[in-house]
């Protein structure tokens, strides 16, 4: 029997809608979704597969997304990090944490390593940002900053990851039209102190179609899932 518990988290005049896929063995995964039309429900495929293995996770709809709703322009990348911290404080997750970040959420996951005990990072089609974009509210000003040619090149993500000592998995979509392979390669290369690190380029995958594509071939899905479980369990199956 699977258990999914919904819960609310007050944050800065909003109510963040969150849920906990309860794991029978462990509950220490925080899952951060991306931008655009992404919501916590966009990631049910992977979270359900993990739950079947006894691995629980918490995810929430960021401001401007899904059931949380609200005005996207009232948020920012920095606000998303603070929203994640609020959800962590309200959740039943145990330490040390494993944080999953998809697209924009990958950068938030990286930033969280500066404030929390995190021994595993799973970065899926990861986006990173130049520091001047961090606090800028979403909208035209934010777009102007990130649309500069290679604006991400001076991201602080590389420096932050250079201090990370846990396990790292970077999953890149072969045909990602949003995230250059160079970003995923630099994230992998920066994590020189990581206990373990792996970069896997998923053949044929696109930015918004990675796990769904893998699921079409069960053996491929299970192989990728095994990489993820290795980050969570650290070899302790």
Given a cut of 60, is residue 80 above it in pLDDT?
yes
The whole-number average pLDDT for the span 174-186 is 98
The whole-number average pLDDT for the span 163-182 is 98
DSSP secondary structure of 38-97: --GGGGHHHHHHHHHTTEEEEEEPPTTBTTTB--GGG--HHHHHHHHHHHHHHS-PPSSE
Domain limits for position 63 = 4-233
What is the chain's mean pLDDT, rounded?
96
Number of domains in the chain: 1
CA separation for the pair 146, 155 (Å, rounded): 11
pLDDT at res. 48: 98
pLDDT in tens, 97-127: 999 999 999 999 999 999 999 999 999 999 9
Given a cut of 50, is residue 235 above it in pLDDT?
no
- pLDDT band at residue 236 under the 50/70/90 scheme: very low
CATH number, domain with residue 84? 3.40.50.1820
Given a cut of 70, is residue 237 above it in pLDDT?
no
pLDDT at res. 233: 87
């Amino acid at each position: 029997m699977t258990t999914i518990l919904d819960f609310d988290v007050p944050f800065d005049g909003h109510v963040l809608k969150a849920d906990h896929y309860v794991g029978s063995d462990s509950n220490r995964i925080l899952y951060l979704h991306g931008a655009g039309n992404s919501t916590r429900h966009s990631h049910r495929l992977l979270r359900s597969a993990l739950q079947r293995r006894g691995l629980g996770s918490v995810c929430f709809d960021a401001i401007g997304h899904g059931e949380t709703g609200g005005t996207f322009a009232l948020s920012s990348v920095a606000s998303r990090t603070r929203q994640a911290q609020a959800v962590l404080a309200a959740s039943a997750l145990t330490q040390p944490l494993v944080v999953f970040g998809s697209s924009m959420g990958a950068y938030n996951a990286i930033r969280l390593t500066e404030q929390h005990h995190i021994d595993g990072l799973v970065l899926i089609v990861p986006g990173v940002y130049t520091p001047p974009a961090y606090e800028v509210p979403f909208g035209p000003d934010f777009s102007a900053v990130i649309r500069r040619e290679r604006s991400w090149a001076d991201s602080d993500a590389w420096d932050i990851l250079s201090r990370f000592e846990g396990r790292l998995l970077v999953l890149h979509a072969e045909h990602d039209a949003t995230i250059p392979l160079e970003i995923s390669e630099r994230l992998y290369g920066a994590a020189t102190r990581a206990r373990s690190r792996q970069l896997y380029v998923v053949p044929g995958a696109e930015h918004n179609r990675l796990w769904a594509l893998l699921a079409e071939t069960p053996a491929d899905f299970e192989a990728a899932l095994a990489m993820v479980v290795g980050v969570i369990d650290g070899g302790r199956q």
